[in-house]
């Protein structure tokens, strides 16, 4: 009996151990399920959907060059997959299915249903270095704070020099024709999906930006981040693949946790931390606060304020520019994600779940574990979250991280002529110049801060 590989959010070839193992065990077929209704229910952003479909089309072409046929099956929901998968395997006389695990609740339920089929599954943890449940306290529990999790993660892997399996020799190319359900609308065209371009992006970051990442990552006007998050979210690039590339230049990177070079690797460990959390605490996939005492917080319901935040009309330039960046490009700088999340949950006292959903509906790098972790961190409801009394001042954040207003002017052309000194909160300047092209401040920072402190006082009860 033959084997089959099942693509999910692991849309890569050469750094995909599960795929290579399937090929080494005779697989000549792979499958990908298009699940439009399920993706809609999961709030997948159209730009991310487009990037995913373009990448699947690319994989189909590349696999066909090696004689591997990619079957693209169109179903509505995850619940439709077991029967469809069994039917495909029966038609191909396949008994063995290779796949990488996914850790969200609905995905785990789907895989549990598939495990009941008359098929033998071979599961891999291709989305992480440390499989969930493998980095634990001495009592075997999941860490509730990041720093000890990181220490244990490093203890397990700091002597590791990662490598990737060799791609098998395959021949006999076959024809590939793009299925109709993979046709792109072009929304994600600015993000390449071919392996040569992605390799070049990774190489440029490691060679040119890694050494300055710690100093430049917080400045949105500078391209100081890796820009790899959309590819990590879809498994187009893996964490192990990135660590292999980093260790080729910096072999001791995992033994240098206090160096500036380690700063970016630290972000990859945060990513693992959030994945471990959603497995240990499945309720996080169901919109629950990690810290149950914050269930007592009474969130405001204001469509007017929420819409102003969504549309970049809060009157705080850094917040507004960040939100317009998200809506216009499908991406937002990480420092700005913290600023706008803090503004929504602390200044406007609007439930973090509304912001989490809005992000998922627009982000090209939307990822449940990281998105949930980031929002709960900002809202002070999460695991190892920002203390409730630390409330970002959007004006001082702007002065510090966009001092000349370069980023603000890019997305707020109405403030183009405002001097750098006034651009971070320009209302007095605009009034003096009789300009009313910009929105008034939706809330006073000092008053909003005091209101938030009072609303979050459950922390002290």
Binding residues for FAD: 213, 225-229, 264, 267-274, 365-367
Q: Is 334 noted as a catalytic residue in this protein? A: yes
- The annotation places the binding site at 213, 225-229, 264, 267-274, 365-367
Tell me which residue of 347, 346, 402 sits closest to 415, measured CA to CA. 402
SS3 128: coil
Task: For residues 397 and 205, give the distance between their C-alpha atoms in angstroms, rounded to a whole number.
Answer: 26
Q: Using DSSP, state whether 316 is helix, strand or coil.
A: coil
65 is catalytic: no
Contact 45, 326 (CB under 8 A): no
Q: Which of 36, 158, 214, 267 is catalytic?
A: 267
Residues 286 and 307: their CA atoms lie apart, in Å, by 24
Considering 266, 334, 399, 406, which one is annotated as catalytic? 334
DSSP state of 359: H
Cα angle for residues 387, 393, 396 (degrees, 5° grid): 130
Catalytic residue among 158, 299, 393, 406: 299
Q: 301-310 long-range contacts, Cβ below 8 Å, gap at least 24?
A: 301/350, 302/348, 302/350, 305/348, 305/350, 305/442, 305/443, 306/344, 306/348, 306/350, 306/354, 308/439, 308/442, 309/340, 309/343, 309/344, 309/348, 309/350, 309/355, 309/442, 310/358
CA atoms within 13 A on the CB side of 433: 14
Our answer to whether residue 6 is catalytic in this structure is no
Q: What is the Cα–Cα distance from 137 to 324, expressed in whole angstroms?
A: 42
Biggest CA-to-CA distance, the chain: 79
Buried b (16+ CB within 10 A) or exposed e, 257-282: beeebbebbebbbbbbbbbbbbbbee
Say whether 439 is catalytic: no
User: Among 309, 331, 352, 377, which one carries the catalytic annotation?
Assistant: 352
Smallest CA-to-CA distance from 229 within 261, 271, 257 is with 271
Asked if 24 is an active-site residue, the reply is: no
Q: Assess whether 393 carries a catalytic annotation.
A: no
Question: Helix (H, G, I), strand (E, B), or coil: what is residue 73?
Answer: strand
Identified catalytic residue from 270, 309, 331, 377: 270
Residue 294 structure tokens? 């914050």
- Treating both helix axes as pointing N-terminal to C-terminal, what angle do 352-360 and 368-379 enclose, rounded to 10 degrees? 150
Distance CA 317, CA 414 (A): 10
Cα dihedral 274/232/338/372 (nearest 10): -40
Catalogue the active-site residues.
267, 270, 299, 334, 352, 375
């Amino acid at each position: 009996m033959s084997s089959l590989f099942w693509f999910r959010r692991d849309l890569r070839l050469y750094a995909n151990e599960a795929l290579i193992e399937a090929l080494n065990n005779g697989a000549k077929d792979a499958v990908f399920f298009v699940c439009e209704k399920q993706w809609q229910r999961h709030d997948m952003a159209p730009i991310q959907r487009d990037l995913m479909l373009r990448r699947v089309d690319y994989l189909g072409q590349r696999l066909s060059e090696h004689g591997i046929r990619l079957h693209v099956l169109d179903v509505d929901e995850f619940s439709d997959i077991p029967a469809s998968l069994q039917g495909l395997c029966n038609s191909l006389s396949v008994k063995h299915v290779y796949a990488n695990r996914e850790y969200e609740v609905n995905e785990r339920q789907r895989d549990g249903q598939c495990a009941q089929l008359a098929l033998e599954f071979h599961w891999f943890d291709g989305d992480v270095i440390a499989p969930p449940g493998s980095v634990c306290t001495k009592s075997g529990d999941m860490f509730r704070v990041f720093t000890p999790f990181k220490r244990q993660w490093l203890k397990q892997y700091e002597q590791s020099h990662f490598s990737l399996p060799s791609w098998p020799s395959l021949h006999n190319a076959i024809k590939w024709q793009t299925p109709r359900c993979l046709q792109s609308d072009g929304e994600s065209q600015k993000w390449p999906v071919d392996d040569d371009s992605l390799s070049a992006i990774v190489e440029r970051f490691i060679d040119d930006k890694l050494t300055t990442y710690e100093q430049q990552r917080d400045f949105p006007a500078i391209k100081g981040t890796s820009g790899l998050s959309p590819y990590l979210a879809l498994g187009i690039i893996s964490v192990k693949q990135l660590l292999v590339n980093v260790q080729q230049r910096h072999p001791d990177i995992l033994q240098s946790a206090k160096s500036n070079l380690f700063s970016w690797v630290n972000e990859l460990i945060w990513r693992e931390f959030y994945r471990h959390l959603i497995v240990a605490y499945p309720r996080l996939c169901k919109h629950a606060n990690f810290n149950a005492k914050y269930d007592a917080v009474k969130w405001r319901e204001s469509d007017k304020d929420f819409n102003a935040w969504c549309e970049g009309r809060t009157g705080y330039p850094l917040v507004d520019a960040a939100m317009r960046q998200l809506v216009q490009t499908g991406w937002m700088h990480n420092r700005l994600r913290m600023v706008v999340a803090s503004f929504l949950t602390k200044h406007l006292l609007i439930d973090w779940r509304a912001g989490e959903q809005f992000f998922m509906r627009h982000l090209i790098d939307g990822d449940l574990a990281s998105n949930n972790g980031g929002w709960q961190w900002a809202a002070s409801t999460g695991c190892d979250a920002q203390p409730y009394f630390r409330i970002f001042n959007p004006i001082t954040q702007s002065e510090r991280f966009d001092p000349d207003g370069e980023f603000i002017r890019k997305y707020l052309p109405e403030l183009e002529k405002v001097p750098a000194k006034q651009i971070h909160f320009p209302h007095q300047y605009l009034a003096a110049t009789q300009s009313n092209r910009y929105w008034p401040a939706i809330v006073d920072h000092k008053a909003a801060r005091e209101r938030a402190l009072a609303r979050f006082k459950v922390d002290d009860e």
